[in-house]
Amino acid sequence: MMKNKLVVLLLVVGIVSLPLSNLLGLSGENEPINGVEGSSANFIKVTKILQNKCVDCHSPGMTRMPIYADFPIAKQLMAKDIENASARLILTKELYSGAEKFSPVQLARIEGVVLNNSMPPALYLSMHWNDRLEAEEQRTILAWIKDERSQLTWSQSASQALKGEPIQPLPLTVALDGKKVVLGQKLFHDTLLSGDGTLSCASCHSLLKGGTDQAKVATGINGQQGPINSPTVYNVMYNVAQFWDGRAKDLHAQAAGPVANPGEMGANWELVIEKLKQVPEYQTAFESLYAQQGLTMDTVTDAIAYFEESLVTPNSRFDQYLRGNDSILTGNEKSGYELFKTTCASCHSGPALGGLSFEKMGVKQNYFMLRGGSLTDADQGRFNVTKDEKDRHVFKVPVLRNIEMTAPYFHDGSASSLAEAVKVMAKVQRNKTLTADELDDLVAFLKTLTGEYKGKLLTQLTQDDLK
Ligand code: HEC
Ligand code: HEC
Ligand code: HEC
């Protein structure tokens, strides 16, 4: 029985090992695509590479597999590959024809696999040696990614040489309705929003503590220990959705949650509105800024959301580097950044180094086994929202701006220092054991991400600056 299976397998592998492109007579020459629109010379080359070497697994429904798809083992292997590959990157016709732009997340993921030389997968290459990416092709793909990034609005203030980087500088100013921001700031710090008048949003998201409570898990009214770590409120507008599991679609939807959550502020919106209406300052502010609706849950959360959108922390040393001040970073910090680009930036990219996508905690190793302890509901992550098995232990990638200030780390607050968090990340996400020097460099780089609020470095901000 075993022997038979082996023979079948060898047979299949034998057939499969004829390079597929040769079987199809496509060697190097794929069918021409119609109208590559407004694209760079690099893109014209890149789209050919993608169509020759990547679509078989990354364009479900468009594979050129049927030739051996009837062989049961090959068929199963391919189906699994296509399923897993599509969960990470779908190359649609719109994308490779140039009709649609690749998103920053797609660019970051492609850059990650090219820098690590990890696509197409090794097993597949052992059968389709022609599909290996040549060094020249890798350079072309990387150059194209830089072209694409340099066109993003995000990249505009970066120096010419650094417009193609996976991280972009935060804007120095944000254009927002100043009056709504001021109103939102007051509400954010007001304990009237909690059931027993003891907590404000700032109790768990102190602007002096990097936008967090610097605690393992949050403490709600009556001293209740919450199930999860408080994320920062700084730079939250770069999040695709809010909360670790992304259950709130935006800041407006998010702000309604904690007030009524019995484990957090434990209040009732109707009573909160009644109490706020008795404050003359709020009466006048809402009358002038929200003349139509007045003081309601919607307008309160709207003002808070405006305030949160103003919580940008620009001008970190790293941003100054991105804007062209090359000597502001030390050698160690620069080495750390280089390592970050190959090891971390496929997930932590964009102006806030995160917030753009959902990723599994433990891609390469089982984080939860390494951590120990029993699994909590919070550990299930995005699965709690979608009930899709693929989303189990998947979390929104946290932003890494001001990260030196927001220990302890992870949704469960399990990492007490930044070095520990980085070590765990390298291990569970990349299967990489960092040397002591690599770890030092990465931490040194991450510390260059601390920015300013109200014109002051976050680590030096005091209560007086918030008035
Ligand atoms: C034999 C099928 C196969 C081929 C061919 C293939 N891939 Fe993949 N790809 C996968 C699978 C399976 C995954 C998901 C698991 C993993 O990351 O290893 C994946 C994941 C990816 C990811 C996501 C990485 C991340 O951040 O998780 C990218 C990007 C990617 N592939 C790009 C490419 C590119 C570019 C090519 C062509 C040069 C290519 N792939 C060719 C199977 C394939
Ligand atoms: C008792 C502590 C506590 C209070 C009070 C509190 N929060 Fe939170 N906040 C948390 C915790 C814990 C989370 C993460 C919850 C989760 O993801 O399930 C969170 C998440 C958030 C997020 C999402 C950030 C991200 O990266 O996803 C924002 C924004 C936020 N809170 C704003 C507020 C605002 C506005 C208020 C006041 C109306 C408030 N919080 C009150 C503890 C608190
Ligand atoms: C596959 C995607 C992925 C890669 C690669 C990755 N991360 Fe993460 N990172 C995440 C996710 C998801 C979380 C949240 C996990 C959790 O809390 O359970 C996270 C959390 C973190 C945190 C804690 C943030 C906080 O506020 O608690 C730090 C620090 C961090 N990552 C740094 C890094 C570094 C440094 C690297 C490279 C060595 C890296 N990450 C690689 C996805 C990734």
Q: Classify 197 in phi/psi space as left (phi over 0), alpha (psi -120 to 50) or beta.
A: left
Buried b vs exposed e over 374-409: b needs ≥16 C-beta within 10 Å? eeeebbbbbbbbbeeeebbbbbbbbbbbbbbbbbbb
Q: Which of 399, 422, 312, 393 is nearest to 348 (CA)?
A: 399
Nearest CA to ligand 3 atom 9: 397
d(CA 126, CA 109): 23
CA distances for 285 relative to 48, 189, 253, 294, 299, angstroms: 58, 16, 22, 9, 11
Task: Note every long-range contact of 87-96, with CB atoms under 8 Å and residues 24 or more positions apart, other chains counting.
Answer: 87/390, 89/58, 90/58, 90/59, 90/60, 91/50, 91/54, 91/55, 91/58, 91/59, 92/59, 93/59, 93/62, 96/33, 96/47, 96/50, 96/51, 96/55
Query: Hey, what are 134's tokens?
Result: 């040549």
* Ligand with an atom nearest the CA of residue 228: 2
Give the model confidence (pLDDT) of 96-130 as tens digits.
989 999 999 999 999 999 999 999 999 888 888 88
Could you tell me which of 123, 15, 126 has the C-alpha nearest to residue 69? 15
Whether the upstream peptide bond of residue 314 has omega within 30° of 0, thus cis, is no
Half-sphere exposure of 10 (CA within 13 A, CB side): 6
Integer Cα distance of 208 and 181 in angstroms: 18
Q: Which atom of ligand 3 is nearest to the CA of 413?
A: 27
* Alpha-carbon gap, residue 186 to 53, rounded angstroms: 55
Give the number of whichever ligand sits closest to the CA of residue 306: 2
| Residues of the chain with confidence (pLDDT) below 70 | 1-39, 63-71
CA of 109 to the centre of ligand 1 (A): 9
pLDDT 10s digits, 274-299: 999 999 999 999 999 999 999 999 99
- Contact between 221 and 196 under an 8 Å Cβ cutoff? The reply is yes
The protein residue with its alpha carbon nearest to ligand 2, atom 22, reads 243
What lies within 8 Å, CB to CB, of 59 at 6+ separation is 90, 91, 92, 93
Question: For residue 159, how many other CB atoms are within 10 A of its CB?
Answer: 15
Structure tokens at 323: 């804007």
Name every protein residue with a CB atom under 6 angstroms from any ligand 1 atom. 53-54, 56-58, 81, 84-85, 88-89, 109-110, 112-113, 119-121, 124, 133, 346
* Residues 320 and 328 sit within 8 Å (Cβ to Cβ): yes
Task: Please give the pLDDT value at position 43.
Answer: 94
Mutate to test the pocket of ligand 3, among 236, 343, 348, 446 (most ligand atoms within 8 A of CB): 348
Q: Are 395 and 419 in contact (CB under 8 A)?
A: no
Predicted pLDDT at 227 = 95
Interval 418-442: pLDDT, tens: 999 999 999 999 999 999 999 999 9
Amino acid type, 173: T
What span, in angstroms and rounded, lies between the C-alpha atoms of 250 and 409?
Answer: 23
Ligand 2 mutation target, pool 180, 193, 201, most atoms within 8 A of CB: 201
| Residue 220 CA to ligand 2 centre (angstroms) | 11
Q: Which residue from 290, 266, 265 is spatially nearest to 277, judged by alpha carbons?
A: 290
Tell me if 439 sits within 8 A of 422, measured CB to CB: yes
User: Which one, of 178, 226, 186, 215, lies nearest residue 202 by Cα?
Assistant: 186
